[in-house]
């Protein structure tokens, strides 16, 4: 087992977690995050792993994947706020893979109990569990965790750097640092003397403080308002560099084909390809073939000319057979029953029962930038340029692939043209390493065609839900849900670490068992299809992406069965469970003017709690000559602390679009063991003419800061399906909706 | 035999087969990487450039068929000298991952050159071929309107 696997296994054996002491308000005791991985050049100084200063200015390290969600901008703002940097002075870099950059929030998701309405104790348990990320070297961007992770840690890193710089200036002036202030990247002396950080950095190094005081939000200058994103000018001028854009000297371009049946290669014939223009090398990868050429397109032409026989798929060959295996999981004992309240087996006296079955398909990530990475194998070691969400794991996997120790592998994590979970995988970096290893001394970029990207995805799993509920006197009295699917978490953790921790798969049932609705008798069971080997992976909002649809569509059915208004029905249930959930519903009620609506339109509502954030959404649909249109949508989210309202709005809208695209038209089907869709003509997404006008509102009433990259996605599908029901009276229980409904183009 | 290609006002001799799509000439031979590969089949618009002012999918135009001067995102404006449209894009903080944005901007620039004050239907028609997986559409609309002086 890899070193990583050994550490991980040991770490998961901790039976209990000790929680020590409390933390005085605002004071942050500094624990070293680990060895500083930054290797400053002679004229540079690092004050901690997140702050690098040279003669030209201050560079902040935001070691999280920037895949569009704005994380590097807000991460840098957290540090800059406490350092008193002017925004136009801030530069940001991703930095190298390092334990110091572990994610302290990801493992916290494993704390017991639903995540809403956490007490200080539950929060502390989560924080303690989060420290497991460090021995696991879990430098991962995912689970909408960046702001939970960085909110205190990065302000503390900025404050510590500021205090060090003040101490250096105080030493120069032979005075008390308490008499000094900071502004716009400089320490200001008692008589107004100005010491730019760039001049103090070297002297500041010896002055690391043991504790720092974090500023009250009322004193914030950068946080809390929309800042210009640090990547915006580059992205508007074509100068942003994604991994597909790196051009090291002497670069060659490769295309590859791996098995669309996700198994071995039986034979191939590359005779024709060898003769084609630009071809420099055919690489037999054993389980696939690559062509290295002088141009990506010439490489693609040549690789497509290779005849290949693929071994049979290790899973059923057709969608129907796969779904039958998923359905059979209902006959197995549940993997989890995380919600079991009251007496869900009996029907309360005088209540009326309803039940329904729901289905959703496999989905592709379809990031805008097709998967790619560049590798350069030399006598010194391996360099890799890869837009990835897990740099430490990427480094160890590529080191293994190249047969090198990790210390001889350099990973450059670039900007990403979308991630949505797909770039939290290792395959594209490892394959680029294997291809480049065939041409040592030459950097080789391996770019997947769109077809390869779609056929070789780790899909959002198809899932089936069996729902049962009961209402009485206009209220919900019973909710009993069961969901069946293959386990994404187990497959993904196997790929990351070589093993999956035992215990119930929480991710599989997230969005089903932990929703803030006070229904007296309630149960949620998760059934896993354990043998199903269709490759599945984390897809924006993961389990919530299907459970949100099941939960919120069925709750709508219950509201109608109760003869209640679906929004009022939800507010009443949420109000008794957790006020912030009721508040986001009240917000969309007010924003949309519910229950009033224009003639000829239908409206639907959904509220999903995911990644710590309740999001409510109202969607409006209307008939038109061309089919159903979606004129408007309203969304409200409570994130506890709104660090950048502009980015929060982008993420809510972006999450909605991602969810609507899937709900309306997203579907991967299988035939002959292969995904049948291959490009945007048969796996399309929402286009500008179909885009509703969206109004968003951010609330800050819940106690803890929460995530935003994913929570906008889950309510999209149910709000849309509920709106269609309102308009047409037809209940849609199967996605995608365009199988039954014609939408305007 | 090398082909002569004029990009952003500069003539280049390109030593690649004539059937290589313009996209891959720009990206891999000239290292003008602002123009993006998304699908290769005219289904996403990420590769949009202009030939003689007309927006085209560069993945569909063979090197040998390029009929005029090519303008790419790098030729529209630079960080130090932004075009009005790029400034509007920044003012409205349009981009998320940003990967589709070169194509969006080149498409929008061609629209505004032809129709300086496009109504919603014209914007819809012009931009329908440009996919954005991050869902930046409302801000794209707003930036186009602003660049056309039609804000509010
Ligand atoms: S790459 Fe040309 S349209 Fe998609
Ligand atoms: S900004 Fe990411 S695809 Fe458009």
Q: Ligand 2 pocket: which of B37, B38, B43, B99 to mutate (most atoms <8 Å of CB)?
A: B99
**pLDDT over 70 (residue A104):** yes
CATH superfamily of B84-147: [2Fe-2S]-binding domain (1.10.150.120)
From the list A359, A374, A275, the residue with the least C-alpha distance to A324 is: A359
- The closest alpha carbon to A145, from A187, A194, A111, A186, belongs to A111
The residues pairing with A386 across neighbouring beta strands, listed in sequence order, are A373, A413
Query: Averaged over A735-740, what is the pLDDT?
Result: 98
B57 Cβ inside 6 Å of ligand 1: yes
Give the tens place of pLDDT for each residue, A189-236.
Answer: 999 999 999 999 999 988 888 888 899 999 999 999 999 999 999 999
Q: A693-729 burial, b for 16+ CB within 10 Å, e for fewer?
A: ebbbbbbeebebbbbbbbbbbbbbbbbbbbbbbbbee
pLDDT at A2: 39
Cβ-contact A516, A116 below 8 angstroms: yes
Q: Is the CB of B96 under 6 A from ligand 2?
A: yes
Contact indicator for A658, A710 with CB cutoff of 8 Å: no
- Is the domain of A160 the same as that of A298? no
Both A491 and A348 in one domain: the answer is: yes
Chosen domain end from A208, A237, A266: A237
Question: Can you tell me the ipTM of this complex?
Answer: 0.98
Under DSSP, is residue A267 helix (H, G, I), strand (E, B) or coil?
Answer: strand
- The number of residues in chain B equals 152
- Averaged over A111-137, what is the pLDDT? 67
SS3 labels along A368-425: CCCCEEEEEECCCCEEEEECCCCHHHHHHHHHHHHCCCHHHEEEEECECCCCCCHHHC
Q: Does B100 contact ligand 2 (Cβ within 6 A)?
A: yes
The arithmetic mean of pLDDT across residues A105-115, rounded, is 68
Chain B residue with CA closest to A246: the answer is B33
Alpha carbon of B42 to ligand 1 centroid (Å)? 4
pTM score: 0.94
Last residue of a domain, one of A383, A418, A452: A452
The verdict on the CB of residue B17 being under 6 Å from ligand 2 is no
B99 lines ligand 2 (CB under 6 A): yes
Task: Considering only the beta carbons, identify the residue of B89, B135, B138 that sits closest to A236.
Answer: B89
- Please identify, among A400, A424, A452, the residue that sits at the C-terminal boundary of a domain: A452
Q: Which residue ranges of chain B lie beneath pLDDT 70?
A: 152
At residue A132, the pLDDT reads 65
Geometric angle at alpha carbon B61, from B55 and B63, rounded to 5°? 125
Same domain, A444 and A554: no
How far apart are alpha carbons A272 and A251 in whole angstroms?
A: 24
Residue A363 has pLDDT above 80, yes or no: yes
B18 touches A at CB < 8 Å: no
Q: How many domains does chain A have?
A: 3
Cβ under 8 Å to A: B residues 92-111: 93-102, 105
* A370 and A355 assigned to the same domain: no
Whether the CB of B127 is below 8 Å from some CB of chain A: the reply is yes
Residue pLDDT, tens place only, A75-98: 999 999 999 999 999 999 888 887
Give A267 Cα–ligand 1 centroid separation in angstroms.
Answer: 32
Give, for A616, the enclosing helix (H) or strand (E): strand A613-624
In this structure, are A174 and A34 located in the same domain? yes
For residue A242, tell me if it sits in a domain. no
A317 is a domain residue: no
Residue A569 belongs to a domain with what CATH number? 3.30.365.10
**B88 at A interface, C-beta within 8 A:** no
Given B28, B41, B133, which is nearest A679 (Cβ)? B41
> What are A535-581's pLDDT values in tens digits?
999 999 999 999 999 999 999 999 999 999 999 999 999 999 999 99
pLDDT-derived band at A110, boundaries 50, 70, 90: low
- A293 and A344 assigned to the same domain: no
Domain ranges of chain B: 3-74, 84-147
* Separation of alpha carbons B31 and A544, rounded Å: 41
Average confidence (pLDDT) over A406-428? 96
Handedness of CA A320, A326, A331, A337 (dihedral sign): negative
A376 and A506 fall within a common domain: no
Report yes or no on A322 lying in a domain: no
Domain boundaries, position A439: 248-312+365-452
Read off the pLDDT band of A17 (50, 70, 90). very low
Residue nearest to atom 4 of ligand 2 (CA): B132
Does the beta carbon of B133 lie under 8 angstroms from any beta carbon of chain A?
Answer: yes
Residue A27 has pLDDT above 80, yes or no: no
Q: Are the beta carbons of A246 and A290 closer than 8 angstroms?
A: no
What's the burial of A574, exposed, middle or buried (CB within 10 Å: 0-12/13-18/19+)? buried
Q: Report whether A630 contacts A720 (CB < 8 A).
A: yes
Contact B90 A233 (CB under 8 A): yes
User: Are A190 and A180 spatial neighbours (Cβ–Cβ below 8 Å)?
Assistant: yes
Q: Element (H or E) spanning B3, and its range?
A: strand B3-7
Please answer whether residues A168 and A53 qualify as being in contact, where contact means their C-beta atoms are separated by less than 8 angstroms: no
Given a contact cutoff of 8 angstroms between Cβ atoms, the answer to whether A699 and A638 are in contact is: yes
Whether residue A412 has pLDDT greater than 50: yes
Please determine, for residue A468, whether its predicted confidence score (pLDDT) is greater than 80. Answer: yes
CA A189 / ligand 1 centre spacing (Å): 57
Residue A106 near residue A80 (C-beta atoms within 8 A): no
Q: Measured in angstroms, how far is the CA atom of residue B97 from the centroid of ligand 2?
A: 5
The closest alpha carbon to B53, from B72, B78, B39, belongs to: B72
Domain membership flag for residue A318:
no
Is the pLDDT confidence value at A46 over 90? no
Cβ of A236 within 8 Å of Cβ of B105? The answer is yes
Atom index in ligand 1 nearest the CA of residue B44 equals: 4
DSSP, collapsed to helix, strand or coil, labels residue B150 as coil
**Same domain (yes/no): A358, A382:** no
Run of H or E including A475: strand A475-485
Indicate the top mutation candidate among B21, B45, B62 to test ligand 1's pocket, ranked by most ligand atoms within 8 A of CB. B45
Q: Residue for token digits 């500008």?
A: A688
Question: Whose C-alpha lies nearest to ligand 1, atom 3?
Answer: B42
Q: Which residues contact A664 (CB under 8 A, 6 or more apart)?
A: A686, A690, A720, A736, A737, A738, A743
Closest-CA distance, B88 to chain A, in angstroms, reads 9
Domain B3-74 has CATH 2.30.30.100: no
Whether B84 contacts chain A with CB within 8 A? no
Q: Do residues A339 and A421 share a domain?
A: no
> Do strands A627-638 and A693-699 pair parallel, antiparallel, or not at all (unpaired)?
parallel
Q: How much is the average pLDDT of A435-464?
A: 98
Inter-chain CB proximity A368 and B27 less than 8 Å = no
- When the pLDDT of each residue in chain A is averaged and rounded to a whole number, the result is 91
Give the nearest partner residue to A277 out of B17, B29, B94, using CB atoms: B17
Residue B95 to residue A367, Cβ atoms within 8 A? no
The answer to whether the CB atoms of A236 and B95 lie below 8 A apart is yes
Ligand 1 atom with least separation from CA of B60: 2
Contact A295 B28 (CB under 8 A): yes
A228–B90 C-beta distance less than 8 A:
yes
Tokens of A711: 């929570």
> Is the CB of B46 within 6 Å of ligand 1?
yes
Angle A103-A105-A110 (CA atoms, 0-180°, nearest 5)? Answer: 120
For residue A689, the distance in angstroms to the closest alpha carbon of chain B comes to 5
Interchain contact, A295 vs B40, CB within 8 Å = no
Q: Are residues A525 and A436 in the same domain?
A: no
| Residue A18 banded pLDDT, cuts 50, 70, 90 | very low
| pLDDT higher than threshold 60 for residue A12 | no
Residues of chain A with C-beta less than 8 angstroms from the C-beta of B78: 237, 239
- Pair A389, A533 in one domain: no
Q: B27: which chain A residues are within 8 Å (Cβ-Cβ)?
A: 296
pLDDT value for A102: 81
- A158 and A219 belong to one structural domain: yes
Mutate to test the pocket of ligand 1, among B22, B35, B57 (most ligand atoms within 8 A of CB): B57
Q: What six digits make up the tokens of A37? A: 């991985």
* Tokens linked to A593: 């003017």
State whether residue B117 sits within 8 Å of chain A by CB. no
């Amino acid at each position: 087992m890899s070193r990583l696997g050994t550490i991980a296994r040991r770490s998961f054996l901790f039976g209990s977690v000790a929680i020590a002491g409390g933390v005085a308000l605002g004071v942050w005791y500094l624990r070293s995050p680990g060895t500083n991985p930054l290797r400053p050049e002679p004229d540079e100084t690092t004050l901690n792993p997140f702050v690098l200063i040279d003669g030209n200015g201050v560079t902040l390290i935001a070691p999280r994947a920037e895949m569009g969600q704005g994380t590097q901008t807000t991460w840098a703002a957290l540090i800059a706020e406490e350092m008193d940097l002017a925004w136009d002075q801030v530069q940001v870099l991703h930095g190298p893979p390092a334990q110091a950059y572990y994610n302290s929030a990801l493992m916290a998701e494993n704390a017991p109990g639903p995540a809403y309405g956490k007490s200080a104790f539950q929060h502390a348990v989560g924080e303690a569990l989060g420290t497991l990320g460090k021995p696991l070297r879990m430098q991962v961007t995912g689970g909408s965790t960046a702001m939970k992770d960085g909110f205190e840690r990065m302000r503390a890193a900025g404050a510590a750097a500021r205090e060090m710089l003040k101490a250096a200036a105080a030493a120069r002036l032979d005075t008390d640092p308490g008499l000094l202030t900071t502004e716009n990247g400089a320490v200001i002396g008692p008589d107004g003397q100005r010491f730019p950080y760039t001049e103090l950095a070297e002297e500041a190094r010896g002055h690391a403080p043991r504790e720092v005081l974090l500023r009250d939000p009322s004193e914030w200058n950068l946080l809390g308002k929309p800042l210009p994103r640090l990547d915006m000018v580059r992205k508007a001028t074509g100068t942003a560099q994604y991994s597909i854009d790196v051009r090291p000297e002497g670069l060659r371009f490769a295309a590859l084909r791996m098995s669309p049946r996700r198994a071995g290669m039986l034979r191939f014939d590359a005779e024709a390809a060898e003769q084609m223009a630009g071809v420099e090398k055919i690489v037999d990868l054993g389980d696939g073939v690559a062509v290295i050429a002088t141009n990506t397109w010439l490489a693609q032409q040549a690789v497509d000319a290779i005849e290949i026989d693929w071994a049979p798929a290790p899973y059923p060959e057709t969608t129907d057979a796969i779904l039958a295996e998923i359905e059979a999981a209902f006959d197995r004992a549940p993997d989890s029953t995380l919600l079991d309240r009251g007496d869900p087996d009996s029907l309360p006296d005088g209540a009326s029962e309803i039940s329904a079955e729901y289905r959703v398909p496999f989905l592709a990530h379809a990031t805008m930038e097709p998967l790619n990475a560049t590798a350069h194998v030399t006598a010194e070691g391996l360099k890799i340029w890869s837009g990835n969400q897990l740099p430490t794991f990427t480094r160890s996997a590529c080191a293994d692939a190249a047969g090198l120790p990790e210390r001889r592998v350099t990973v450059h994590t670039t900007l990403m043209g979308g991630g949505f979970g797909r770039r939290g995988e290792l395959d594209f970096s490892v394959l680029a390493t294997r291809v480049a290893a065939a041409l040592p001394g030459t950097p080789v970029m391996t770019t997947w065609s769109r077809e390869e990207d779609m056929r070789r995805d780790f899909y959002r799993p198809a899932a089936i839900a069996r729902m049962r509920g009961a209402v009485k006197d206009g209220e919900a009295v019973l909710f009993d849900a069961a969901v069946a699917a293959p386990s994404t978490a187990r497959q993904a953790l196997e790929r990351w670490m070589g093993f999956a921790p035992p215990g119930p798969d929480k991710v599989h049932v997230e969005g089903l068992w932990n929703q803030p609705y006070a229904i007296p008798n309630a149960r949620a069971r998760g059934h896993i299809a354990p043998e199903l080997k269709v490759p599945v992976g984390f897809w924006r909002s993961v389990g919530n992406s299907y459970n949100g649809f099941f939960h919120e569509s069925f709750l709508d059915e219950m509201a109608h069965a109760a003869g209640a208004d679906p929004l009022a029905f939800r507010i009443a249930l949420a109000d008794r469970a957790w006020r912030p959930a009721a508040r986001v519903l009240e917000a969309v009620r007010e924003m949309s003017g519910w229950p009033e609506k224009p003639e000829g339109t239908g409206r639907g509502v959904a509220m999903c709690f995911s990644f710590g954030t309740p999001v409510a959404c109202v969607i409006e649909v209307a008939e038109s000559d061309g089919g159903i249109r979606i004129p408007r949508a309203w969304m409200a989210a409570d994130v506890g602390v709104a660090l950048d309202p502009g980015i929060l709005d982008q993420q809510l809208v972006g999450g909605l679009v991602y969810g609507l695209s899937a709900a309306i038209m997203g579907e991967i089907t299988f035939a002959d063991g292969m995904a049948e869709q291959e490009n945007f003509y048969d796996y399309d997404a929402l286009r500008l003419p179909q885009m509703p006008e969206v109004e968003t509102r951010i609330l800050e009433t819940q106690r803890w800061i929460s995530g935003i990259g994913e929570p906008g996605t889950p309510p999209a599908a149910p709000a849309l399906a509920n709106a269609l029901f309102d308009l047409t009276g037809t209940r849609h229980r199967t996605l995608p909706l365009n199988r039954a409904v014609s939408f305007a183009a | 035999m090398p082909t002569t290609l004029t990009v952003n006002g500069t003539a280049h001799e390109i030593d690649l087969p004539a059937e290589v799509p313009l996209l891959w000439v720009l990206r891999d031979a000239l290292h003008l990487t602002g123009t993006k590969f998304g699908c290769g089949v005219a289904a996403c618009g990420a590769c949009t450039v202009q030939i003689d002012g007309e927006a085209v999918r560069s993945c569909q135009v063979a090197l040998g068929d390029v009929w005029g001067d090519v303008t790419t995102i790098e030729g529209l404006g630079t960080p130090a000298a932004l075009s009005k449209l790029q400034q509007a894009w920044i003012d409205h903080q349009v981009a998320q991952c940003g990967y589709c944005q070169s194509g969006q901007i080149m498409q929008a620039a061609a629209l505004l050159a032809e129709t300086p004050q496009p109504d919603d239907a014209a914007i819809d028609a012009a931009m329908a071929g440009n996919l954005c997986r991050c869902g930046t559409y409302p801000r794209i609309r707003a930036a186009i309107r602003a660049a056309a002086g039609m804000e509010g």
